[in-house]
Structure 1
Amino acid sequence: MEYETCHMKILNFGSLNIDHVYHIEHFVQPGETIACSSYNRFSGGKGLNQSIALARAGADVYHGGKIGADGLFLKEQLEKSGVDTRFVHQGNTPTGHAVIQVSKEGENSIIIAGGANRCITTDEIADTVCTFAKGDYLLVQNEISGVDHIISKSSEMGLKIVFNPAPFTPAISNYPLELVDIFILNETEAAAITGLTHQQDIIEQMRKQFPNAEVIFTMGAKGALFVKGDIEHIAPAKQVTAVDTTGAGDTFIGFFLASHMCSGNIPEALAIATAAAAMSVTRHGAADSIPTLDEAKAFSNTH
């Protein structure tokens, strides 16, 4: 994959969080108090994770978002990873944060406090989006305020809209989803959007509801599925021993989009994205677990 010849930009308007990660024997039950075996503070937020994944996969990525004074290290980490941070604003509200439980099986349970992520203004959105041009990409998740406005404004500017509806909230039903060009979502989010539970029914409903959109279903240990009209591509997951699944979906999204934007080769994009996601779950942390493009390529070739 030769990213040097790709001149498309991607604006990732997303969350910036401080992750407080606790490794525990099992998830805390109601009324229970347990001790953790270890505690770490990491950079996080779906937005930050996906921007770093995009950058490590070779994309020309700009991050839009908001932090408090306590989150300046997040901006610095983005910059060290090659992300343009000119659209990261600083406000008076503390930076968003997450409390993450990681079980001995490597599964996670997450509580998010929005903080500055929920204080993004319409002026900040307009000033950011208007810098980009037709054919550039917008990526947005659902951890910040103003998502509906970001999608609408970006569509007016001719950007290709990529939406990762995570975490799912009822408000998503009122977003202008008809403007979305690419959905990347897991089984839970797809079920919530369609109101259905059976996988094949969900796929057919997404086809019917969004006939012009590309839909990528991330299915964890079962891999990933691409659907557009009658076209389908599936990529099986790489078999690894997981130690921490935090950020695996974000890694997949960044690597898939970086490849998709520049080559348009869907099977190739799925393959490199599943390899990168598999590598990420063998490491602790979210942003800190994201591999480089060379690492993901080497892993893909040997697994």
Structure 2
Amino acid sequence: MLSASLPFDLLAQCYCAFPPKGNFLFCRHCDFDRQSKCDMMSGFLSTTDFVGLHTWRLLMAVINIGSMNIDHVYTVEHFVKPGETLHSQKLELHPGGKGLNQSIALAKAGVQVKHAGLLGNGGAYLKEELENYGVNTDWIRDVEGQNGHSMIQVQPDGQNSIVLYGGSNMKFTDGFIDEVVSHADDDDVVLLQNEINDIPRIIEQAKTRGLKVVFNAAPCTEQVKDYPLHLLDLLIINEVEGAMLSGETDFDKVLGTLKERYPNTGIVLTLGSGGVYYADANGVLKVAACRVKNVVDTTSAGDTFTGYMMSEWLKGSPMETCLSLACTASAVCIQKAGSSTSIPFPKELPVSETEAAAIA
């Protein structure tokens, strides 16, 4: 059996030829069917033979119960001011939503993903977008009414301002939630963002099943304070969200307050160029951010961070490794325009200190 401590991309054999339960990885080319032998394999092959042929994925899956939006991205000289009418330099439509973006980030990072969500009018192509990246869409349903969408203003410095309309994303029912959670495998991990309704019920139902739950509290509202955050395995927040949840503005106090309030929850606090902090019962860890000169669009930076961080966390990697990879992936992401389209593949990430320095 392959150990989780081994490098993720260095394998000596195609493990899809071994169906017994317990294999750690399998090959994407087998259509996720561990019972059938990979058609790209004949007997045992060396690692060299498999480079470029196989995309390895963790056996456990992430069930991302999340949003799917149509993003209207406007390139502007500056964010529109009250009473101002502003001409946009460019308009682009992209698949988006934190849920969809994080599913794609996870899939690109090599994780098996099952997306559960609701599509309204005009949203059918969002399902196709997920499927293009190998995301399982069996739990996507159609509902009446408008699909969720957003209006995103992007300034020349890459900073963005977003107006969000929930639409179909706010039509989750108890029945649908219970159906999704009840069909989860025992080792699946549930991922949530705050762009859908009924988050508390999902958390409680998932924990009743004994599943791990990760919650990215974005966009943050006052209601999040009443969510059962003490049940979470990981809570991912940025500086603004941390201040809202803790009532503090200094990041040390934010971490201290949240650690005391949720002692069994790992807290991931991202500070943009200020790096990222992780706090749990064992203490506090800091990882520096990558310096980037050519910032184009920060829209999907947080979603890229979440996807790549979880890809390492699921393997049992040290949290410092998880956060370092996530910061690097985010740094690459913000140098491209778009939402899900800006999320990098692993091959786009620097693999040496020299290449990492070239990000700046």
TM-score range, shorter chain: over 0.9
Deviates more, 1:187-196 or 1:244-253: 187-196
> AA paired with 2:79?
F
> AA paired with 1:257?
M
Q: Is 2:267 aligned against 1:267? A: no
Aligned match for 2:298, one of 218, 238, 245: 245
TM-aligned CA deviation for residue 300 of structure 1 = 6.8
TM-aligned CA deviation for residue 92 of structure 1 = 1.1
> AA paired with 1:206?
L
Deviations 1:3-50 (A, max 9, x none): 762321111111100000000000000000111111100010000000
> Aligned partners of 2:303, 2:84: CA distance in 1, in Å?
31
TM-aligned CA deviation for residue 223 of structure 1 = 1.6
Instruction: Provide the residue aligned with 1:14 in structure 2.
Output: 66
> Aligned partners of 2:303, 2:352: CA distance in 1, in Å?
18
> Aligned partners of 1:135, 1:231: CA distance in 2, in Å?
27
> AA paired with 1:187?
E
Instruction: Provide the residue aligned with 1:290 in structure 2.
Output: 343
> Aligned partners of 2:251, 2:326: CA distance in 1, in Å?
22
Instruction: Provide the residue aligned with 1:165 in structure 2.
Output: 217
Given that residues 120 and 146 in structure 1 are in contact (C-alpha distance below 8 angstroms), is that contact kept between their aligned partners in structure 2? Answer: yes
Deviations 1:116-146 (A, max 9, x none): 0011111111111111133321110110011
Instruction: Provide the residue aligned with 2:145 in structure 1.
Output: 93
Deviations 1:197-247 (A, max 9, x none): 111111111111111111111111112111112333222111112111001
Q: Is 2:258 aligned against 1:258? A: no
Instruction: Provide the residue aligned with 1:227 in structure 2.
Output: 279
Q: 1:56 to 1:300 in 2, by over 3 A?
A: farther
Q: Name the SS for the 1:285 alignment partner.
A: coil
**TM-score normalised according to structure 2 size:** 0.82
> AA paired with 1:44?
G
Q: Is 2:85 aligned against 1:61? A: no
Q: Unmatched 5+ residue regions in structure 2?
A: 1-6, 10-23, 26-57
Percent of residue pairs identical: 38
Given that residues 272 and 297 in structure 1 are in contact (C-alpha distance below 8 angstroms), is that contact kept between their aligned partners in structure 2? Answer: no
Aligned match for 1:196, one of 245, 248, 256: 248
Instruction: Provide the residue aligned with 2:185 in structure 1.
Output: 133
TM-aligned CA deviation for residue 299 of structure 1 = 7.5
Aligned match for 1:155, one of 196, 207, 213: 207
Aligned match for 1:236, one of 263, 267, 288: 288
Given that residues 231 and 264 in structure 2 are in contact (C-alpha distance below 8 angstroms), is that contact kept between their aligned partners in structure 1? Answer: no
> Aligned partners of 1:203, 1:218: CA distance in 2, in Å?
11
Given that residues 200 and 228 in structure 2 are in contact (C-alpha distance below 8 angstroms), is that contact kept between their aligned partners in structure 1? Answer: yes
Given that residues 133 and 158 in structure 1 are in contact (C-alpha distance below 8 angstroms), is that contact kept between their aligned partners in structure 2? Answer: no
Deviates more, 1:45-54 or 1:205-214: 205-214
Q: Name the SS for the 1:18 alignment partner.
A: strand
Instruction: Provide the residue aligned with 1:81 in structure 2.
Output: 133
> Aligned partners of 2:123, 2:205: CA distance in 1, in Å?
27
Deviations 1:64-103 (A, max 9, x none): 1101141111110101111111111111122100000001
Larger % of helix: which?
Answer: 1
Q: 1:73 to 1:229 in 2, by over 3 A?
A: same
